[in-house]
Structure 1
Amino acid sequence: VDDQELIRFGFRRGLEAEDDRVVIGEAADGHAAIAQAAALRPDLVLMDIRMPGLDGIAATAAIVREHPETRVLVLTTFDLDEYAFGAIRAGASGFLLKDAQRHEMISAIRAVHRGDAALAPRVTRMLLEHVTPRLGSAAAVPGSPAEPAPPTEDPTTGLTDRERDVFLEIARGLTNAEIAQVLFVSESTVKTHVGRILAKLGARDRIHLVILAHRLGLVDDDALPSDS
């Protein structure tokens, strides 16, 4: 989804070169994106933010609300784009910079599709810095769902010890594969734990788990791994 045809063309060409990816539709604005998502039920949507008519924030919120099985990966020009953080609050599952290399784009798409978050540790820090102070505030993002009030008690008390271990590693920004290495378990076991954690905590995806962990003070920013 992008109002610039050449941008859409470039992303389509890059994706169609992959045997395990199929591009099933395009849209030039938020209204068309919502209609296409309803008609085609894609696994994942690449969503631009700044578009005429209905922007990507409102479109993301609508798609996530109506089709929770569809993931949205935000396209943004700058990693500090406030609009992109608004899309995360609306339910997007990650960032992708428009100047990303082809392998970075494919990696981000695969990460979101398998349930990981497409957020490098540096971006995770920025997400927490920008989003956490706004969660539960009166300032709502147009078209986005209402944010939950700050938790009055620790909702993670219902997690098992192993689920809590996995939860904390997610909060540090680790992928399923990295968590499996740290905890000496299989990746499929980690995936099972992640599913149970999401269900128990009522979180849509890993990004919201990261935000929750930091809001509860369970992990500090120094715990995030570096990009280097």
Structure 2
Amino acid sequence: MRILVVEDNRTLADGLAAVLRVAGYAVDVVHDGVSADAVLTTETFDLVVLDLSLPEMDGLDVLRRMRGRRNPSSVLVLTARGALDERVRGLDLGADDYMTKPFEVSELEARIRVLLRRQAGLHNSSIAFGSIELDTVSRTLSAFGQTLDIPARELSVLETLLRKAGKVVAKQSIIESLAAFDDDLSENAVEQYISRLRRRLAPYALTVRVARGLGYYLDRIAD
């Protein structure tokens, strides 16, 4: 899942990005409203964490322009401007949630999980396929009731495949779901993640197959 953090306080922005990357998300960061508007015009994100008090263009203007382009990304407004009229304006312009600074990181992470689950159209936190099950809230993978230890990047690739289980996922879609602006993620890197996932899934009668020229899909291994 891909998140854009729009925050002019670079220390806070870097801290948020670090926390979210550890949780397995692909995170991009910009520090002003004009840059945010430009990126949101050309790039696709599952969620935008948006400060309001931004240089060059106010966060509410960024949000207004987003929704004017019918950008469907979920938006979590994160700001020190906590007055009721500010919250109402943000929600009326299309924000999905609103948090004021200072905030607890654990609550922010929980709200992000809810918004991403809603964005993906999931009615509960679990996605299952064959003998494996991914809890998208705790970001844990299990098989036959036992938790599987899997690196964050591989888990994100698997989540992308699970969300479209039985359908082909283009390699470029996997790259976009993982890569941040400062990440040089190649097609070869994706192939390595897929290869590792095949080894991890084999004991559970599952695999990742190649649809030549199209992408990858999850499949069961026949007896």
What TM bracket, shorter-length normalisation?
A: 0.3 to 0.5
* Structure number having the greater helix percentage: 1
More strand by share: 2
Q: Normalising by structure 2, what TM-score?
A: 0.47
